[in-house]
Structure 1
Amino acid sequence: MSLSRLIIQNFRNLNAVDLELSHGFNFLVGENGSGKTSLLEAIFYLGHGRSFKSNVSNRIIHYDHDDFILHGKIDEAKHSWSVGLQKKRQGETVLKINGQDGNKIADLAHLLPMQIIMPEGLTLLNGGPSYRRAFLDWGLFHLHPQFYSEWTALRRLLKQRNAALAQVRQYQDLLHWDKELVKLTEKVSQMRVDYATKLSPEIEKTCQFFLPELEITAQFYQGWNKDQDYAEVLAQGFERDKGIGYTMIGAQKADFRFRANGLPVEDVLSRGQLKLLMCALRLAQGEYLIQQKQQQCLFLIDDFASELDLNKRELLTQRLRESQSQVFVTAITKDQLHYMDWQNNANDVLFEVQDGEITPC
């Protein structure tokens, strides 16, 4: 699937944008603050129902308007979808797919799988486990339809259990919660184990492509000792959980850990190597989705590629073109795009961005 048309109204400094997009590479060139990253943010919002920069919608809506509107046309080989999202200053979200109400953000996310590569994305490696869980769960969301409902039910049950911890006196009072919690936790964890096992070799191969001097390995941690029965873990941890007021151990603590030559990557890799590793992880996961579902994945690249040396830029371009993905790349000048050979590819489109105005070159 690819985004063939994008309409933006009142989104940050993008007041009125209507673009016909390439199914291949789309380049956005302009000075800092011109609106390049805002366009990537708008695409991300259309696919996720949220921003990668701010959780406060009032900061995204143009200051003299009451809402922003995003509209896109999504094309596949035999189908197309019209999608629209409106976010009001009061917080209300209106979402339509093919003109129909009653859809959820998850429905839209399935239509627009995307990976974003940006300098701030290093939290995937040096941030907390929640970033790596989100990375892993992205793939499960797109490859296993039942995962989203199971994980949503598990999070809801955890909230209920945490609330009950303040009211119960003995563990017997929690048993009816924990029997269901164990079932859901084991289902979610097994799906994560299976996916991580299949994805890890793809990650390691892609890391060798970008960082041949290092041996990168990926290992999934389910959130508790794999040799322990989760029902026993909950029973043994009751007094501790009751004392702190929440369930300390479980699938909500899972992690996907990366090592370089046997050591945690955040401890031994330079900033430049971490950037390459983050790029390799996003690329490997997007390519794996393409292989498994025969479905395009959008790649949003915000100024990151300009920080790579020439050889790595060419390697990144090669892999993206081979995957036949739809790609959006921002740069300050056209010279920074020379390594992507855009002038010799008829399907590539170049846009100039200036003060919120976007025009094809």
Structure 2
Amino acid sequence: MDSGQDKLTAGDGGLRAAVVVNPVKVADLEEFRRTVDGALTAAGWPEPTWYETTVEDPGRGQTEEAVRAGAEVVFACGGDGTVMACVTALAGTDVALAVLPQGTGNLLAANLGLSNDLAAGLAVAVERGKRRLDVGAVEEQCFAVMAGMGFDAQMLDSTSETTKKRIGWPAYVVGAAKHLRDRPMRVSIRIDDQPPVRRRARSVLVANVGRLQGGVRLLTDAEPDDGWLDVAVLTPRTLRHWLAMGWALARRRGSVPRMEVFRARTVEITSNRAQPRQLDGDLIEPGRVLRAEIRPQSLWLCVPRPEQHPDLAVDAESAAERGERLIEEARRE
């Protein structure tokens, strides 16, 4: 596989592209590479340069190397960790991110309506629909969708890779069920420069975009480029509370019980004890504090339609159809 050392060269009308792939997430890497290379060639793009992630570097270093080599678009191929590493490297640059999800339940892909649809991801990139999005920053890492402390990270930690591969995103429901009756955490939440508010919460989510796994819209008002983070504090205490919350989210009518929402440019959540934490569906080190800030208009993202629509998944289904035609055209050549 290419080491990525050679300078990328532009073709007629196409963009210089790099592919950052987690080889563990791809069942047949050579076939995957042939499909991607063929589709981009059929679209008039030059052959992309390929970079493989490693255990030591899940994609940030490879993406930074691709940017130095002149890439105009970076395809992130892997799970949540791969995509988050690419987001972190590309935030603040003019290089666009395109998502080719290969893991199960990728959060950013879910918000793009892409699921694990390779054809749709390719079509979205070659059609050059882009939007400049905000990102959130936690310490030295960036997230495009949401960060969280408490129940949401516990759920991720309790969901096995085997179950995810077998049944897909519903595996997270299995992981969630293990923690429904856990005790809440005592948190202090400071929104910007306001006095802290104190709650007994099961989870605190800091969202840039509002869709969860399975297409559920947790935060209907969260927009990816409005310069704000939406902070959701979940306070269910009984199984009945969880069921009421789930029913309200499924119907999306009116307010959601046991959920309080704030808006912030900077938020600091402090718990009475160390808690599991996650960024864009990828677990980070547990801790007592989660501090996030918004970085407005930091990331160019390839999207199904570039118009200013609050839902990034607009046009995803028709993009998938166009992508299938592109792949078929590449196979005939």
Give the number of the structure whose alpha-carbon radius of gyration is greater. 1
Structure with larger RCO (C-alpha < 8 A, sep 6+): 1
Q: TM-score w.r.t. structure 1 length?
A: 0.27
Q: Select the structure that is richer in strand.
A: 2
